[in-house]
Amino acid sequence: MKHRRGSRPAAVPEPGPRGWPGRGRGSSTYVQAPDQWRATTVQACGLWPFAVGTGTPMTGVPLGRNLLSGATLCCDPISWFQRANLISNPSAFVLGKPGLGKSTVVRRMALGLAGYGVMPLVLGDLKPDYVDLVEAIGGQVIRLGRGRGYLNVLDPGEAVAAAARLTGDARSQVLADAHGRRHAIVAALITVMRSAPPTDREETVLDRALRVLDDTHEAARRGAPTLHDLLAVLRAAPEDVRAAALDRGDRTRYDDVTEDLEATLIGLTGGGRLGRIFAEPTTTPMRRDRPVVFDVSSIDDAQTDLQAAVLLACWSAGFGAISVGHALADAGLEPRRHYFVVLDELWRALRAGRGMVDRVDALTRLNRQRGVGMAMVSHTMSDLLALPSEEDRMKARGFVERSGMVICGGLPSAEMPMLTSAVPLTRAEQDLLVGWQDPPAWNPGVGAEAEPPGRGHFLVKVGGRPGIPVHVALTGVERELNDTNKLWHELSRSADDLPSPSATEDQIRG
């Protein structure tokens, strides 16, 4: 078509400033979001040249979509430490108000890591939140509690069998480690029982008594020694133990020195406050080659002493098994296994008694050397800082400061000063977290509350870097496994549901 320079062809229609004139046309006040597709870079580049990268790390367990960009976020402490080099130690601390999905995000990580060949180890599930998952992936569920299952704290586990396969230093290290671990757990149980640690002399007596027990106990015939056997050694007063008690050849003096220790051991073996959970042969020995959960949910929350003692015993057994596994892998006798240790409901564990903070402190400092990734879950910083002694509070704050990544869900604004002192958060990030803890809307249509707005929303923070806001969407399978509100699905039985008095009478007569 030819036309003169400067003039416009009259035939070409153009929209005006308010869009096309006419019916059903015109301006739009709503800008529609463009459609988004995701594809691999190989395919997308051929279809569309303006593809953008995700901008979020893609190494590890797929967690969910970035709330701002929609990009996929893959994140778990082990992959970010081992493969992506994004964090300095393989641990994550998850904080958030109750019911917003903390355990759910840790379960997602555990499930994904199990797919990568990492063994999830839940050393003490107080709820239980992880039993269904571990069962579903073919793991081992160890139930502990009064009358439900025993965990013999003097059982060296697989250390003895492993030592038999090893030689030289490796062998003596495994045995020394098992001895130290058993000594430490008996001392810890005594601490819980008395609310005070054993004295130096008692520690030495205990150490000697354990050695005598190992030398004299016929494990092949009678199985692993128990606290009953330890008590018997203490009462038999062999020469070595008497020397450690400094009885100066006087049996009466020995009896005086060991009286308190004997009394505490009687309490531990004879069904005292802690029951007999630790004094009977182990019901289910822990396996190293499977995901494992210790289900301790049958222990009532009011029994804080027992909870503390059981958690300590689970940690001891779990980390004992891990170090045996590493010793065998070092010697080339077993494949190297990595573990993902979950300490959920950490605030309950820390409050459960003296010495718990030190235990967790020791575990969290060593996780890199021990080849374990760790996830710790708690509600708020104030929970951690509510511990009675200043020393414990400082240590508890250290758990958050030292973790490779901190994953925050909805939190109240009162938390922010404490949280920012441990993890730097910008004003915008703080507002985001405070917004996620808003109460759910009331839906009058169905007479029920909607989902809490912040459920499944988390901010992944690594050091001073900007946080990545992510929504964890559950898959259908997970939704069934993840239901921690199971007890609330059925409506309560009201008087109408109960059999009528006449029916009951008929039954009685019939």
Ligand X SMILES: Nc1ncnc2c1ncn2[C@@H]1O[C@H](COP(=O)(O)OP(=O)(O)OP(=O)(O)O)[C@@H](O)[C@H]1O
Q: Which is nearer to ligand X, 272 or 453 (CB)?
A: 453
Q: Quick one: CA dihedral 140, 142, 143, 149, positive or negative? A: positive
Helical segments of 116-250, H only: 131-136, 159-165, 168-194, 200-216, 219-222, 227-236, 239-244
Structure tokens at 101: 């999905």
User: Is residue 197 within 8 Å of 190, Cβ to Cβ?
Assistant: yes
Preceding omega of 128 cis (within 30 degrees of 0) = yes
Q: How far is Cα 173 from Cα 350, in angstroms, rounded to an integer?
A: 30
Task: Please list every residue from 475 through 494 that binds ligand X, using CB under 6 A.
Answer: 482-485
Nearest CA-CA partner of 276 in 287, 265, 285, 284: 265
The minimum distance between CB 345 and Mg ion, in angstroms, equals: 6
Task: Please list every residue from 117 through 136 that binds ligand X, using CB under 6 A.
Answer: 129
Q: Which is nearer to Mg ion, 158 or 344 (CB)?
A: 344
Q: Which is nearer to Mg ion, 109 or 188 (CB)?
A: 109
Does residue 410 belong to the site contacting ligand X (CB under 6 A)?
Answer: no
Does residue 380 belong to the site contacting Mg ion (CB under 5 A)?
Answer: no
Residue 112 binds what, of Mg ion, ligand X, none (CB under 5 to 8 Å, by partner type)? none
Nearest CA-CA partner of 339 in 350, 349, 324: 324
Q: Which is nearer to ligand X, 50 or 488 (CB)?
A: 488
Q: How far is Cα 489 from Cα 475, in angstroms, rounded to an integer?
A: 20
Residue 422 binds what, of ligand X, Mg ion, none (CB under 5 to 8 Å, by partner type)? none
Residue 99 binds what, of Mg ion, ligand X, none (CB under 5 to 8 Å, by partner type)? ligand X
Does residue 146 belong to the site contacting ligand X (CB under 6 A)?
Answer: no
Q: How far is Cα 428 from Cα 411, in angstroms, rounded to an integer?
A: 14
Q: How far is Cα 402 from Cα 440, in angstroms, rounded to an integer?
A: 33
Q: Which is nearer to ligand X, 394 or 414 (CB)?
A: 414
Residue 455 binds what, of ligand X, Mg ion, none (CB under 5 to 8 Å, by partner type)? ligand X
Total interface residues for ligand X by CB under 6 A:
18
Q: Which is nearer to ligand X, 321 or 405 (CB)?
A: 405
Q: Which is nearer to ligand X, 29 or 485 (CB)?
A: 485
Could you identify the residue written with the tokens 């069904």?
A: 271
Structure tokens at 436: 């996620």
- Comparing every residue's Cβ against ligand X, the nearest one is 456
Contact letters for ligand X, residues 78-107 (x by CB under 6 A): ------------------x-xxxxxxx---
Q: How far is Cα 349 from Cα 314, in angstroms, rounded to an integer?
A: 12
The minimum distance between CB 439 and ligand X, in angstroms, equals: 15
Q: How far is Cα 492 from Cα 257, in angstroms, rounded to an integer?
A: 57
Q: Helices 356-366 and 390-402, interaxial angle, to 10°? A: 30
Q: Which amino acid is at 3?
A: H
Contact letters for ligand X, residues 436-455 (x by CB under 6 A): -------------------x
The minimum distance between CB 62 and Mg ion, in angstroms, equals: 21
Among 66, 82, 91, 103, which residue sits at the site for Mg ion (rule: CB under 5 A)?
103
Point out which residues bind ligand X (CB under 6 A).
96, 98-104, 129, 379, 455-456, 472, 474, 482-485
Residues that bind Mg ion (CB under 5 A): 103
